[in-house]
Amino acid sequence: LITAACYLGAVAVRGVAVVWSFIGSSMAFLIAFILPCGCFIVMESAVPRVADGGDRKERWIGVAWMILVFSMVGMVVCTINNTVGFKVG
C-alpha cells in the first residue's frame, strides 16, 4: 500500500522540485517550530508549579503555545500556497 502510494505520487508530479517544495514548505515549520515548542510544553508541564515549590515557567509555556499555534497555521498556509501553483501531470 505504501509502495503503491509512493509510485502513484512519483508518477503524478512533474519533477523532483515539486516534491522538494512540498516537503520544504511543510517540514521546515515542523522541524524549526512545532517539534521544539511541543517538546518544551511537555517537559515544562511536568515541572511542579512555583506555588508547589517547583520552577515551572508559566509565561514561557504560554509563549510556546502561541508560537505553536502560529507555526501550525503558517505551515498549512505555506503548504497550500505552494501546492496550488503546481499542476499534476
List, for residues 48-86, the tens digit of each pLDDT value.
988 888 888 889 999 999 999 999 999 998 888 887 776
Q: What percentage of the chain exceeds 90 in pLDDT?
A: 38
Q: What is the pTM of this model?
A: 0.73
The stretch 40-52 carries a mean pLDDT of: 90
Q: 27 to each of 56, 69, 75, how far by Cα in Å?
A: 30, 15, 8
Q: Which band of pLDDT confidence, cut at 50, 70 and 90, is reported for residue 89?
A: low
Q: What gap in Å lies between CA 32 and CA 28, rounded to an integer? A: 6
Helix (H, G, I), strand (E, B) or coil at 1: coil
